[in-house]
Structure 1
Amino acid sequence: MGRLVDQYGAQQAVRVIRARALPPEFTAREAEQERPPDLAARLNTWYARLAASNPAADVEAGKRSAARLIIPGDSEWPTQLDQLGAGRPLALWAHGTADLRFSCLKSVAVVGARAATSYGSHVAAEFGVGLSESGWTVVSGGAFGVDGAAHKGALAAGAPTVVVLACGVDICYPSSHEALFAAVGQQGVLISECPPGVHPTRARFLIRNRLIAALSRGTVVVEAALRSGALNTASHALTLTRHLGAVPGPITSSMSAGCHRLLRERKAVCVTSPEDMIELVGVLGDDLTPQVRAPAVPRDRLNESTKRVLDAVPTRGGAGPASIAVAAGVGLDTALSALGGLAAAGYVERSTKGWRLRKQQTAYRKALDSATLEPPLAPEPDPAEVPPFPEDFL
């Protein structure tokens, strides 16, 4: 149907179907397809559906449900849908206050399992909040599990969100999401290529997944089993050369097996936060994930030669400055100077056998001493009483 409309336009396609006679050149071109369709069967199906259709009633039903019809060329039409080629929807019904095209300029699809685990729902909600607070619109299918959690996260952040339905925009499916869809209508937009009054079918869920992938700059799969509609959306994203991310989960969870397969086959990028996804789909150099550094410890402030001397000091017994200098690979003067500074900072101490590391009492040891009523270890010196570490060792 998409190829027929692309070649002859919507009005001429209707005339062809009513006449039940496809143009010869179109029939010849379709015969060259890798898997040529049964045009006679298709034409009979279209003819029967056209005879039963009532466009005027559809428009009237849309008005009653406050829905609007968007077609290619309208100011609200998302032009990225044109990349679907012959699979582009002929029109979209929209219900909500948000502008569809504007909302999808910076958007990310968050998809996953309907039977999501608590982990998946939590992660999806975090992505919904994080993406929305950073100015990105969340696009999903409005289903149970990951979809619903992502939409709720976006709404909680006060941002618009896009729900792509597999039924008419006046049909609430699942029915328990009535409050969620009402909130989306006030803050975002619900869309469907099905006219009002159409109920969902299994096939329509798979068909609408291409729209979720096409509307967004990238798709992140939060949770997905090996057989999952979310993987179908991921496949559409790859076909459209859109960015694809996957959230890793427990290796014991079957609900994350699909994500792990995408990562193992290098079809998706591992993302663990909204910032990771924004870096993946954002503008090069502008949307970078903040670097997470390991916690700093006082030892990090030591210069290189002092660190080497500290590494060479034994834990037990002791060693002389010459032995430490050889083990550290530094001169004797450098070792002596470093040992003096390390002793002043409380890292090492002098024993009868030479220099050794000073025992550091931990909070765990303190708790153990208290619980067993054993004599506690020597207390750590008060930082106020420890001489400052010489600047020339830093």
Structure 2
Amino acid sequence: MSSAVADFDRWIRNDFAHLNTELEEAYFAARTQILLDCAELDGIKQRLMREGAELARRITDSRAMPQDPHMRYELLGSVGYYLGACRRHEIDGAQAAAWPLARLLGSSLGVAPRFVFAHQAFYNRAVRDRFRTFTSLEDERTFITYNALAALAYQRTATSLGRISQLGVSSPLAAYLLQDALTGLDEVLHFSKVLSKQLDTERFFFNIRPYFKPYRVGGVEYRGANAGDFAAINSIDVLLGLCSPYDPFYQAVLAEKYPYMPPEEQALLRTTTATEPLLDAFIRESADGPLTPQLRDNADLFLSVCRRFGAAYAFHHHQLVGPFLKEPATYAPPEQQSDLTASGPPLDVVIENLSRLSDLRAARPRPGATSARASLDKLRELLDATA
């Protein structure tokens, strides 16, 4: 690591977090998203902007770009933290000095030139028990930790399901993998429940959520970070057969999130259309003759995985998105209603799209949506017919 990169990393982990925390405590005391035209706070904002811009410029001027792609991606996250904080505090001006570095890093990796949730979760080395954060607030650490743990559990589930097609759905080894997928989804639900209990609603709304807003790099605005920007949940969608990559709505979901994922996650997402859905494989083999005991046991496990997956995502939608974003947003002043989401569109559009995804993942029939309900019912009928 060059000295310029090391200095920037040290600043992000220390002074940057302290400055943001001072600002957030002032906002929270006033129960407002931001305070403008306050001389004391404006001085802190200007210091944050000035120091970050100078450190980013030193990296660009030194041309000491990390050769390791992993380290370049980490550096992009740090630069993104700085740009995201400037956007959060509505600071204009010298942060443009970081744009050339962000664009260079993004183009070299084939990703959006901003921080994403992967930078907060998995490209975020801990030093003396602390990983990079915007602030030193415990609620921010809680938010990142439990969302990251849920993402790891989704990845465990996706890995297990992805191995089944090589073995066949009637393999005794498939039973082990389906059981492992169930365990992974139990962990997803557990981590989501812990997050819903430990995360303070007001702290999240006033002091954490605002860092996830869209921001500009040069003349282009990039949508905000999303804790779902990983390939695993989409792999599960398609592998189970609950969502179809041929569905125009779901195609748009995949295309929209692609630039906001790490390079290796992008590669995994590209393979989501190449494997036969397990639901189709179970129906095909079950309709081909009398069910063997192993095929029946595996099919029952598969249906349990589908139910658990739908339940885990429904909990997230109803117990996290609703209470922590939708409900507090109703109290925001009218002039701030258009600036509440990380995803660009207005909040009601974002909530509607998430609701549609929740219905797809739970196989709930929905007008105009491609549901797997009929196929799941067909598999159950085949199991009942040979009981």
TM bucket by the smaller chain?
Answer: under 0.3
Kindly name which structure, 1 or 2, has the bigger radius of gyration based on alpha carbons: 1
- Higher helix content, 1 or 2: 2
Relative CO higher for 1 or 2, CA cutoff 8 Å, sep ≥ 6?
A: 2
- Higher strand content, 1 or 2: 1
Structure 2 length normalisation: TM-score?
Answer: 0.24
